[in-house]
Amino acid sequence: MDRMLVVVFDNESKAYEGKKALQQLDNEGSISVYAYAVLAKHADGTASIKQGDDVGPVGTLIGTSVGSLVGLLGGPVGAAIGATIGATNGSIFDLHNVRIADDFIDDVTKALTPNKVAVVAQVDEEWITPVDTRMEALGGTVYRRALSDVTDTVNQEELTAMKADLAQFKAELATARADRQAKIQEKINQLDSKIEAHQQRVQDRRRAAERQAQAKAQRLKSKAAARPSL
């Protein structure tokens, strides 16, 4: 499954070990790493890319989902990437390019506090245990979200992506070792809450849109009734 992966570490050394571990998992065939960047958050709130490369068919970091996510997370570093690209039709650093929901951005932003370093990667993984086991051994905190296709029905696709993750986590829970079950269950609980909140937001937006449509229709009806007969 195509996913965005962010692993937050306490220091740069551990982040480089995390990046190396991802590459090893790629070499072993456990996952496929398409693009990555090592992003450091400084004490003053700015950020810089310590290392970045494309290691697969995605192309260069700039313009990829990873590049867009780095731009959203990195503050001033995003402007630097944008200057490298030059003029574009609108901002490249938006949620459609990242292909994940804003709650994921919020979670990562809260974790990536000053002086911490993150490995940001676009990966394809069939199960979560290989990455989680390696990253947790290095002291990293893993955040992941399935990437949705960019279409006009992005809200539904975000929900579908979360449900796909949830189904995979539940399937993996059934066969996981006892020492992994609690951690996988915690991820399931967190994702359940996110899905419920997402569904509520979509429902609220739909109801608001319906009320607006009804109000517009009523206004048009009133205007038509007020017109003098010919």
Task: Provide the residue-wise pLDDT of the chain in tens; the chain has 230 residues.
Answer: 888 899 999 999 999 999 999 999 988 889 888 888 899 998 887 888 876 654 443 344 544 667 777 777 765 444 444 333 333 333 334 454 556 667 888 889 899 999 999 999 988 898 899 999 999 999 999 999 887 644 445 567 778 888 899 999 999 998 989 889 999 999 999 999 988 888 887 777 667 556 645 654 664 576 577 666 65
Are 139 and 159 within one domain? no
**214: which residues sit within 8 A by CB, 6+ positions away?**
none
Alpha-carbon span 68 to 105, nearest angstrom: 11
Are 121 and 224 within one domain? no
Give the end of a domain, one of 99, 118, 147: 147
The pTM for the full model equals 0.61
Alpha-carbon span 146 to 158, nearest angstrom: 8
Are 143 and 153 within one domain? no
Give the end of a domain, one of 98, 132, 147: 147
Are 83 and 186 within one domain? no
Are 121 and 15 within one domain? yes
